[in-house]
Amino acid sequence: MRGFDASTAFHISWSSRDNANAWVEPTTVCQLKCPFCFRGVGAKGYCPAHRPLEEVKHEIETLRKMRNIECVSLAGGEPLLYPQLLDVVRHCHKLRLKVRICSNGLALTAHRLKELRNAGTNEILIHLDRHQGVYTLDAMKKNRERYCKMFREIKGVNLGFMAMIRGFDKEELDDLTQFYKENVDVIRLASFIFTKDSLNPITIGKPRTADYTKLINYLNETYSSKPCAYISKKFTKDVPSWLIYMPIFADKEFAGYVDDKIYRLSANAYRIVNGRYWFLTDENTATFPRLLPLCFNKQIRTVVKNFIAHARKNSFRSRMHYQILTVNCGPDLLSKGWDLCTACPDAMLHNGKLVPSCLYERIKKGEEIVVP
């Protein structure tokens, strides 16, 4: 795979029992019926429902003890439709856990965002792409702009966008990456999900590695960056299941990126100080006090040099922001079995066992799949 070189990226050493994140679904209710939903929303026999609050709380407490997590990702279904969502967020906050909400954004208003922030929400990751089948390209852009405006006005919650990537579409990617760069001051996370139809028996055994390689090469070139960290797959070690980039910008101008050495140093230091791995940062602003002690690193020196040059041209009113890019490649069914993440960050509980959330519908039908 030309776009990925494992020797230049940090292999994240999470495990099933010592991981940064856990996946919890308080509801399976959703307003949309996306054609490729991995929960099969809208499929024959689908019965959406809200789960009891105490059951959700107990699951979070169990995952906290079982996984040593820093963050809970609330998903579904559409979590913003869960009537007791604020209670769930407050419970996580009480347990000193960070909260990410994975949402389609349709029910997100300024008032709701304030409530979620005040309850302890750290990040909202909005799924918005053309494969949902409800937006024109113009409508998608206007919605993204609306969310950026909302999060600029109501500070204290990170904003992220998630897009399902089905094959390699340069025009689609150009629209996404240009928008993400133009709004780097407010968009902390840009997630590219190289989606697989895990419910479709025709496609589950076709990895489409060529398109995945094109996507990685595209991001390498578009962001002038190399991946700084990755999670490998169980069988195909040369194909990363999670790939992380951290480009840094002076205002909207690219200044450099975080490399594997700095990511490794930061991750290990956080682990030593806090006793668990980090998953979410509080904001996406980079500052000199944080960077100067790291100037022994070539990439950080480049960032500092480029930022100073940019700031001089702007009367030193510039600001530095980083943007985290993640590329996620779902599992494939090989002759050996499911090629899963070696340390699944989105594991969830099913009958007391940790299972991959991306294959949960198959598991509910009786297929034996557990997190490595």
Asked whether residue 1 carries a pLDDT value surpassing 60, the answer given is no
Residue 96 domain flag: yes
Residue 6 domain flag: no
Asked whether residue 209 carries a pLDDT value surpassing 70, the answer given is yes
Residue 12 domain flag: no
Asked whether residue 109 carries a pLDDT value surpassing 90, the answer given is yes
Domain boundaries, position 311: 18-364
pLDDT band, very low/low/confident/very high, at 201 (cuts 50, 70, 90): low
Q: In the prediction, which pLDDT does 3 show?
A: 64
Pick the more confident residue, 68 or 204: 68
CATH code for the domain in which residue 214 is found:
3.80.30.10
Q: In the prediction, which pLDDT does 134 show?
A: 75
Residue 286 domain flag: yes
The strand pairing partners of 191, in sequence order, are 162, 326
Average of pLDDT values for 75-99?
97
Average of pLDDT values for 69-86?
97
Asked whether residue 205 carries a pLDDT value surpassing 60, the answer given is no
Q: How many domains does the chain have?
A: 1
CB 122 within 8 A of CB 280: yes
Residue 4 domain flag: no
The string over 52-86, giving b where at least 16 C-beta atoms fall within 10 Å of a residue's C-beta and e elsewhere, is ebeebbebbeebbebbbbbbbbbbbbbbbbbebbb
- pTM of the predicted structure, to 2 decimals: 0.94
Number of H helices, E strands in the chain: 10, 18
pLDDT tens-place string over residues 30-68 = 998 877 777 877 777 778 899 999 999 999 999 999 999
Average of pLDDT values for 163-182?
91
Residue 11 domain flag: no
pLDDT band, very low/low/confident/very high, at 9 (cuts 50, 70, 90): very high
Q: In the prediction, which pLDDT does 199 show?
A: 63
pLDDT tens-place string over residues 224-269 = 999 999 999 999 888 899 999 999 999 999 999 999 999 999 999 9
Residue 169 domain flag: yes
pLDDT tens-place string over residues 119-146 = 999 999 999 887 777 778 888 899 999 9
Separation of CA 116 from chain center: 19
Residue 3 domain flag: no
Q: In the prediction, which pLDDT does 197 show?
A: 66
309 CB-near residues (< 8 Å, 6+ apart): none
**Structure tokens given for 263:** 């990511």
